[in-house]
Chain A
Amino acid sequence: MSQIALFGIIASRMINVEGIDYFRYYVSGLSIMTLYSAAIFIGFDIYEEADHGVFEYLLSLPVSRRQLVLGRSIGGGLRSFIYVGPLIAVSLYVIGSINPLNFLVALFALFLFSFGVSGMSITIAVMIKSSDRFDIFMGVLDALIVRLSTAMYPLAIVQSANPLYGGVASFNPITFAADLFRWGTGLETIITLDNPLIPLLGVIAFFAVFTFVGVIIYERRIEGGGWQ
């Protein structure tokens, strides 16, 4: 909230781009950045569970590894959504407009995005197998994936700064989620989103890869005590 009340207001006074209300733009992007950061936390839970032996208990239960990882991904995604829910509500209030049908589609995409981020976090956690290395890796990933997205600045600006940055940002799940959220709130004039289907498909692909591929990696890494 302080990011909105302080940084958002102050930064928007510094930035004056024709046709863009940067404050509204920033607030919507901040919601997605926070959703991403909250969904990442599930990876740290995996380490804590391994350290405290809860992992062994979960693996001994009469459920498949697939159900287990899907449950964790969905649980992590829902938790992050609940955590970010008030911020999204404040964002909607600040933005002041909503396109109900578009917003429902965007909300669905954000659910998939948060499940996908949770799945990605779990997958990376079981691959790295060290909480310190995971912490560093996720810090680096966060620095790249959040900054090379449209969460804080429109794609056109990123592209004009550096075509490589623009290329990366175009295929970034945070870009997809942020653009869809703005589209759902009626800010699409700012982002000039030609076709919302592209980011929607991007989010679905991101969710599918890190949930279903994640399940396979999780099974292979975890089965037989591979987390040890």
Chain B
Amino acid sequence: MAPIIRIENLTKKFGNFVAVDHLNLGIEEGEILGLLGPNGAGKTTAILMLATVIRPTEGTAAVGDYDIRKNPEKVRELLGIVFQEPKMLWVSTTWDIVNWHAKVCGLSKEERKRRVKEVLEALDMWEHRRKNVHALSGGMRKRAELAKVLVQRPKIAIVDEPTSQIDVVGKHRIWNMLRELRDEGSTIILATNELYEADVLSDRVAIMHRGKLIVCDTPKTLKDSIVGGDIVEIQLEKEASSRVVEKLKSFKEVVNVLQVKPSNLRLQLNNVEEVVPKIMNMLVNEKVPITTIHMSEPSLDDVFAHYTGLTIEEAQKTGV
């Protein structure tokens, strides 16, 4: 099936600064695509181009059957955006803002009334519906911003850092609501610099850095792409013999074996979930009892560092 969004050489320059640099990407219908990168990576600019809010300097994208340059109005009919900073109209209550958005998006009066109530209740905003949004906390304003798209249920939802300023319980609730939106048929582009959010929510993750797309795949494939990225620490009851160490090295998934202490081994390997049972069987057969075993797989931060040479935090700090 053809991707619902096809981005081809999409580029945006502001003077000499290249905010998005020849971005090529296909987004499948019904997936959550995590657009991951530090601040200034070009995520928001790419999103604003897709939404036809800003015009590309070069390249284009097809959203559904429509080109963003040739049919911007048709493109906007398919989209709904949750902005990074809540965009609120003047002197309005939460209800007014969400209801007005739904009205502009063509929902009937009855449907609006029902959906706005449902979404505001689900987001714990119902009691605040008559409050002026400017009197709400940052987290509550962000929820009101998110409510617009949840009420709209667009074909393609673009959510830019949807859970920033929101507490942990709220984050999980919003993630579930985004999953439900995906399950109801929406395609979701999730721009975020939160690694965990991208990891748990995305079907695929596209990593952007300095305006360029570095890599795009499922979180698992990205993590597995780091050779020796999985770490297994094994504490044995007795000293590990050289024979045991050699046998460990003989597994094709094992990249390196470090004997930290005579009875303490640190293994760098790939596909940890597949190879650990084999290692344990081998140790049992060799009659080497295990005291503890600790496994860790690489995070998306490791993936980012693997491809860019910087952790996402370092990239954020240096602004590169």
Contact = CB atoms under 8 A, between A and B. Distances in A.
Interface of A: 52-54, 56-57, 59-64, 223-225, 228
A60 B79 contact: yes
Contacts of A223: 55, 72
Interface residues of B, number: 23
Contacts of B52: 59-60
B106 A54 contact: no
Nearest to B75: A62
B295 interface: no
A194 B112 CA distance: 54
B1 interface: no
A53 B53 CA distance: 11
Contacts of B72: 223
Interface stretch (B81-89, B193-201, B226-234): B81-89
Given A61-B104, A62-B104, A54 B88 contact: yes
Given A54-B89, A225-B48, A59 B83 contact: no
B104 A57 contact: no
B25 to A, nearest CB: 20
A81 to B, nearest CB: 19
A57 B55 CA distance: 15
A53 B87 contact: yes
B73 interface: yes
A228 to B, nearest CB: 8
B54 interface: yes
Interface of B: 14, 48, 51-55, 72-73, 76-77, 79, 81, 83, 85, 87-90, 101, 104-106
A129 to B, nearest CB: 14
A54 B90 CA distance: 9
A62 B73 contact: yes
B55 A224 contact: yes
B54 A63 contact: no
Contacts of B73: 62-64
Nearest to B88: A54
Contacts of B105: 61-62
Contacts of B104: 61-63
A57 B77 contact: no
Given A62-B76, A62-B77, A57 B87 contact: yes
